[in-house]
Structure 1
Amino acid sequence: MMLAGYLVAVLAGLFAVVAIYAMLSSLPNAPDYFSVVGVSPIAALLVPPLGMFIYFLTIVLTGMQTLVFALIAEFFSLRNALLHMMFGAIAAVAGFALIWPGASENPERWADMGIIGTAGVVAGLVYWLIAGRDAGFRRPLFERA
């Protein structure tokens, strides 16, 4: 379930990024590239290899840290939704830092890091719904009714 949860969570995170940028592009004084990112899924739908490239790139950028977080959650039987959402945000921001190396020093990228972190929260929630609620190698002795 970990792999299925991760793949669906990445897809949900990508949808969340697009939705957040689309909503923020309607705000006054929003940067111009917000509207470009908000309509970019149309290009990904018209050119499926582009969409698959974005999906694969996201998996490559967030895979290692997500694997570490998932193994920690499994080993310690961490089933808290907020913890999975925090893990998703950290993994997403870390993946963003891999693609934008100097993002933390550039004040223009702080908004992007917040948006990506919020999408990571959504992805963490989706992962928790699929695989995180039953995390852990240890199972309780008695099932609760």
Structure 2
Amino acid sequence: MVKHVLKRILMMLAGFFVSVLVGLIAVVVIYCALAALPNAPDYFGAMGMTPLVVLLWPPLGMFVYFLTIILTGLQTLIFALIAEFFALRNFIVHMLFGAAAAAAGFFLIWPGAEEDIERWADIGIIAAAGLVAGLVYWLIAGRGAGFRRPLIQR
């Protein structure tokens, strides 16, 4: 039993760290795709330059990665524990948890964003990246969610 719980905790951590990285990549991809649309705001194009800046100065990339881990860590832990205690293995649940955790992290770094109508696009982009991150988390750790070991081994 203890071995199974430790394995689940390690899977949760690995899933979280990889999904944060994939979520950050998804944010950049979404901004680049939206910057190509006609009449797109100028800052969408600026977000497309982010990977170049991160490649030229890796400490900035590590800062953004760890800041994202800090901003989304608590709510992701809560969602992961809910998924583990109730053995929620549906990928849609994990995607919605990822979107909620990403949007909550955005509200932590930008308080009052819900009142600023120009930030709603950013909230949607961050939530969409959270959907992708939630899917990646499900692929790594969510498919076998549940602290209790199944009675029948498949």
Q: TM tier, shorter chain?
A: over 0.9
In structure 2, what is the equivalent of residue 96 of structure 1? 106
Cα distance in structure 1, aligned partners of 2:70 and 2:104: 12
Cα distance in structure 1, aligned partners of 2:83 and 2:31: 30
Match of 1:119 among 129, 137, 148: 129
User: Any unmatched runs of 5+ in structure 2?
Assistant: 1-10
1:18-33 paired onto structure 2 within 5 Å? 18-33=28-43
The superposition leaves residues 10-34 of structure 1 with CA deviations (integer Å, 9 ceiling, x where unpaired) of 0000000000000000111110000
Q: What letter is aligned with 2:90?
A: N
In structure 1, what is the equivalent of residue 22 of structure 2? 12
1:44-123 paired onto structure 2 within 5 Å? 44-123=54-133
Does 2:46 align with 1:39?
no
The superposition leaves residues 70-95 of structure 1 with CA deviations (integer Å, 9 ceiling, x where unpaired) of 01101111111000000000000000
Instruction: Tell me by how many angstroms 1:143 deviates.
Output: 3.0
RMSD between aligned residues: 0.7
TM-score normalised per structure 2? 0.92
TM-score normalised per structure 1? 0.97
Cα distance in structure 1, aligned partners of 2:29 and 2:150: 39
In structure 2, what is the equivalent of residue 137 of structure 1? 147
- SS where residue 3 of structure 1 aligns? helix
Q: What letter is aligned with 1:40?
A: T
Percent identical residues: 72
Instruction: Tell me by how many angstroms 1:38 deviates.
Output: 1.2
Q: What letter is aligned with 1:74?
A: E
Cα distance in structure 2, aligned partners of 1:54 and 1:65: 18
Deviates more, 1:116-125 or 1:36-45: 36-45
